[in-house]
Amino acid sequence: MAATLSLDTITSSGSGITIDATKTFTVNGELLTTGSTNVLHKTADYPIVTGDVAGKSELVITTTTGAPRNITLPGLAVAGATTCVITIMVSADATGTDSLRVQEGTTEVWTGYQKGDFVRLCISDGAWTVLDHKETYYSRRYLTADQSIAASSTAKLIGWTEVTEIGGAWDNVNNKIVTPTGMNGYWTVSFNPSATADASDNGLSPNLYLAGVSISQWGFGAGTIYASNAGQNGITGCYYASATEAFEFYMTNVRSNSAHSARGTLLNSTNFIAQFNRVY
């Protein structure tokens, strides 16, 4: 016959309470196992299973991105899932198009690329919820060649040389930065123009577009042949963008009497930096 002991408080005169190694201990219906945290390292796709979370208050998984990697969250009904916080972290920088993707079933929840990128989740209100996260989407490029902008016109800058690209948001065919599919967030963009003409004769002004609309254009005296030093200053800002909305880099020539050229070919010529912060 199984014995039942009903107590409000258990105390010990020693350093702790010992449970026989052949016995198990259950709290609120969950099996308590050795230690409250489970730390795993994976080098291949991995579905989180009952044994990883049952009886644990936290699960930490580190994984490499030597190939595209998928870590799949346990189902909501898996024993221990509702009381276990899960942290998944990239342990080595990705190369090429590789990444670490955390998914619920086949649905992407979070994606990381660089060492130290991580996501921390728990079940709340009947769903997996992101508690904290860090992921790296970063693009730095400069204009590959000088580009002429006709008088009194606005033109998109095309042909960019990569300095750093992490996360693959840059669309090289269409010369734009695209917010990743299924993600919303804030882009911090610094667009820094440079002209080939002497500063006193420069009529170029930077013109940043988001989702096909000009959102930030440097002030100038448009429509006069005497406009001078119109747009050497750059555009810097933090802009909210929905999934698939894109940034494009334009120049406006406010001079009505001649074309002017955006300077390319060098690291310090016309250039931009863009970094994405995903929100949930």
For residue 34, pLDDT over 80 is answered with no
d(CA 49, CA 78): 8
Task: Of 8, 95, 104, give the one whose Cα is nearest residue 48.
Answer: 104
* pLDDT tens sequence across 246-274: 999 999 988 888 888 999 999 999 999 99
* pLDDT tens sequence across 168-201: 999 999 999 999 999 999 999 999 998 886 555 5
- Domains in the chain and their CATH numbers? 25-134 (2.60.120), 137-279 (2.60.120.40)
* Residues 207/250, Cβ–Cβ less than 8 Å: yes
What was the pLDDT predicted at 67? 81
What was the pLDDT predicted at 244? 96
Q: Residue 64: phi, psi to the nearest 5?
A: -85, 165
d(CA 36, CA 59): 9
Residues 6+ apart with CB under 8 A from 266: 142
* Residues 47/102, Cβ–Cβ less than 8 Å: no
Tell me the β-bridge partners of 69.
Answer: 100
Instruction: Give the number of residues written for the chain.
Output: 280
What was the pLDDT predicted at 195? 82
- Does residue 66 or residue 198 have the better pLDDT? 66
Q: Residue 19: phi, psi to the nearest 5?
A: -110, 130
* pLDDT tens sequence across 91-125: 998 888 899 999 999 999 999 999 999 999 999 99
Return the percentage of the chain with pLDDT > 70, whole number. Answer: 81
Mean pLDDT of the chain: 87
Q: DSSP letter at 47?
A: E
For residue 81, what are its two tokens?
């899932």
Tell me the pTM.
0.81
